[in-house]
Amino acid sequence: AQSVAQPEDQVNVAEGNPLTVKCTYSVSGNPYLFWYVQYPNRGLQFLLKYITGDNLVKGSYGFEAEFNKSQTSFHLKKPSALVSDSALYFCAVRDFSGNMLTFGGGTRLMVKP
Amino acid sequence: DTEVTQTPKHLVMGMTNKKSLKCEQHMGHRAMYWYKQKAKKPPELMFVYSYEKLSINESVPSRFSPECPNSSLLNLHLHALQPEDSALYLCASSQGPWETQYFGPGTRLLVL
């Protein structure tokens, strides 16, 4: 069975500082990894994905994520946080065979001015 | 264009009502999904349609009935719901099964 863990329910960061939202996964075989963001009362917006290749994946709105196979992690990062980045972030994984997408519990990011 | 639209945005219904949620995409995607999301929780998969055929039903109660009239449309028919069914219902689509999923804005359902 595959699983995703987002160990922090909430991350607080000051505007202009770098941010990291953590994600670790467990899956048989090679993982397909995704990050989504959800603003209040909205659907999920796709940010980025890792399928294969370069371990550093760049996505929308200046976000990037680093795939680390040995640590089974896929942390989301941004060099300089904006207040508008405040939202709920979900990490998700599926395995190569195409099983269902499994979401982590979500991390609320609060960026303060 | 990665837009998935959902109607209505909000829905209030009684436990004896029958209503339907609608989802539409014009990206040529061949897989469509219904998810249920409770507040501050991740989405929970309900149904998957692949090439207009129901491929996954995650043990959803029969008071929820999905329908895929064509490759662009996905409906969720609701009947005799319970208050605990109140949630945000999200539709998503992808090029093929389990490719990157693009989500609609959701329908917020309140069952009284």
pLDDT tens profile B11-39: 999 988 899 999 999 999 999 999 999 99
What does the pLDDT read at residue B60?
Answer: 92
Quick check: A88 and B40 CB within 8 A?
A: yes
Q: Look at A36 and B108 and tell me if their CB atoms are within 8 Å.
A: no
Please give the Cα distance from A89 to A47 (Å, whole number): 10
Among chain B residues, CA nearest to A99: B98
Q: Is A40 on the interface with B (CB under 8 A)?
A: no
Task: Say how far apart CA B36 and CA B85 lie, in whole Å.
Answer: 9
Tell me the pLDDT tens digit for each residue of A30-86.
889 999 999 988 889 999 999 888 899 999 999 999 999 999 999 999 999 999 999
CB B12 within 8 A of CB B80: no
Residue A29: its pLDDT value, please? Answer: 83
The string of DSSP letters for A44-105 reads EEEEEEE-SS-SEEE-GGG-EEEEETTTTEEEEEESS--GGG-EEEEEEEEETT-PPPEE--
Q: In this complex, do B100 and A34 lie within 8 Å of one another by their Cβ atoms?
A: yes
Say how far apart CA B80 and CA B2 lie, in whole Å.
33
Closest approach of chain A CAs to the CA of B39, in angstroms?
Answer: 10
Q: Do B41 and A105 touch (CB under 8 A)?
A: yes
- Report the residue count for chain B: 112
Cis peptide before B8 (omega within 30 of 0): yes
